[in-house]
Amino acid sequence: MSGSVFSEATSSSISDEDDLYTFKEEPCSPVAGYSSDPSSYSADSATSGTVTKAATPCKVCGDKASGYHYGVTSCEGCKGFFRRSIQKQIEYRCLRDGKCLVIRLNRNRCQFCRFKKCLAVGMSKDSVRYGRVPKRPREPSAADSLPEPSKRPVHTSATTIPPTDPLEAQLLRQEMSRELVKLITAAHRGTNTYSEEIRASLEQHPISIRVEESEGEGSGAEDAASSTTDRATDARSVLWHNIAVRMTPAVQQVVEFAKRLPGFHGLPQDDQLIVIKLGFFEVWLTRITGLSTPDRIMFEDGTIFTHAQLATIYDATFATAMLTYIWNIQRLCMTEEEMAVYTGTLLLCPQRAGLSAADRIQGLQNAMNDALQNIQAATHGGPEAVALSQARYEAFAAARNEVRQLGFRHNVLLAWPREHWQRLLLPPLFSEIFDIPKRDEDANGDSAATSPGPVPRSPQSPHSSHPPVPQLG
């Protein structure tokens, strides 16, 4: 499935940027697993088969508690924070009126609210100043409160930390979704040149084709028909060349976008190639809606391809379906965050053929779908918020199904360039991602085919067995 050029694009070509864009996961962080259910967060045990004890959450941030500190069951982080705050007599300020949510994911953001919560749950300043107060009763742990049969040894490698409160669990899910949206949006912004910001400054110019008339005198209707067929093939070839040259930069952009998605690096290498190869066209077509109109597509250099030219490249039905999808996406008026997360769900599709870790990809897509719903719920306020956000989410789901069908049909229509590859001049990366045979220049300047079949010479060679590529007018 993997090819030489495309494998380079997905691994070695941007390996020096891995440290910049790889998502850094903290131990015990709820984002590290990308689960939408806080009850699924697990605490590590020593080894499988040993006796485990139900972990108690920190009263301040919800992280795994390390013991009983300053009168409260808390983690090492909150213990140290509270001690430093008292010993150094630090005064904090809050920019949000003292109403910040304090959880493991964001406990370092607002020190005022974190210190306020330390006091609210019962941490004692005197315990810091004078040491432990022995007469204060110790809080029972989660294991101590269990009935006797539940204290029997459980042979498992991990135990589950349940959410202490349904409201806190919901807030935790929302906070995780917001963090995920920020990561995906940053990845989208750094890898997408089809932005509306450059649309106003573009000078539009359509593609025009001039196909040279055949030399020599034709005789009869048969020669005329053959000449017409050759000119039509030449016109289609030059259109394929032009759209391929302009689409190829988006291949590298989508590869980089995938590499920056949380969880992508954990997938098997073959699965990474599959989701990019089979999802590229869907992501590209969705992104280009930022520059296009319902009757034409436009690239970031201002080049326009009309419905008629798209019909020549593919066919009339597919060209109409492409432009209809563009119109449907534009009607949704996506925000940048919605566009980022939506294209992420297109790329990480667990239904691609040949995947070995489809369940893991399904988990990543589920997290993105939850994030997409939370975006819409936060956007639509008021009593009708739930109904509006649900209707919008269903519209996104319909658009996803629509572009998936276009992706399937596009793969079928690639049969023409795969059959006529000897007449085409396509960028190697474009040929690689769409599995089109390509020609590599050998040491003598001749073109060597990368798939079985006759080895054609370069189009500039006088011994070439096929007509030259037409010139642009």
Is residue 352 in some structural domain? yes
279 pLDDT above the threshold of 70: yes
286 pLDDT above the threshold of 80: yes
CATH number of the domain within which 272 lies: 1.10.565.10
Is residue 458 in some structural domain? no
12 and 76 co-located in one domain: no
229 and 346 co-located in one domain: yes
10 and 80 co-located in one domain: no
Is residue 421 in some structural domain? yes
Residues 185-209 have pLDDT tens digits of 999 999 998 877 676 666 777 776 6
Check residue 167 and give its pLDDT: 64
174 pLDDT above the threshold of 60: yes
Percentage of the chain lying above the pLDDT 70 cut: 64
Compute the average pLDDT of residues 234-255: 93
Compute the average pLDDT of residues 423-446: 76
- Number of domains observed in the structure of the chain: 2
249 and 394 co-located in one domain: yes
12 and 101 co-located in one domain: no
260 and 321 co-located in one domain: yes
Q: Give this prediction's pTM.
A: 0.60
Full domain range(s) for residue 135: 55-145
468 pLDDT above the threshold of 50: no
Residue 48 or residue 353, greater confidence: 353
pLDDT band for position 104 (50/70/90)?
confident
CATH number of the domain within which 78 lies: 3.30.50.10
> 145, 167, 190: which is the final residue of a domain?
145
- Listing DSSP states for 33-48 in one string gives GT-S-GGG-EEE-SST
**What's the mean per-residue pLDDT of the chain?**
74
280 pLDDT above the threshold of 80: yes
pLDDT band for position 16 (50/70/90)?
very low
Which range has the worst mean pLDDT, 18-22, 46-50, 131-135, 326-330?
A: 18-22
Is residue 437 in some structural domain? no
Is residue 76 in some structural domain? yes
What span, in angstroms and rounded, lies between the C-alpha atoms of 68 and 141?
9
392 and 314 co-located in one domain: yes
Is residue 207 in some structural domain? yes
Check residue 199 and give its pLDDT: 67
> 124, 145, 166: which is the final residue of a domain?
145
Residue 348 or residue 151, greater confidence: 348
Residues 291-347 have pLDDT tens digits of 999 999 999 888 999 999 999 999 999 999 999 999 999 999 999 999 999 999 999
Q: Is 387 left (phi over 0), alpha (psi -120 to 50) or beta?
A: alpha
91 pLDDT above the threshold of 70: yes
pLDDT band for position 89 (50/70/90)?
confident
Is residue 27 in some structural domain? no
Check residue 395 and give its pLDDT: 92
Residues 374-431 have pLDDT tens digits of 887 766 555 666 777 788 889 999 999 999 999 999 999 999 999 999 989 999 999 9
264 and 370 co-located in one domain: yes
Check residue 372 and give its pLDDT: 87
Is residue 26 in some structural domain? no
17 and 110 co-located in one domain: no
pLDDT band for position 6 (50/70/90)?
low
Nearest by Cα to 211 from 235, 185, 188: 235
Residues 133-145 have pLDDT tens digits of 444 444 444 444 4
> 125, 145, 165: which is the final residue of a domain?
145
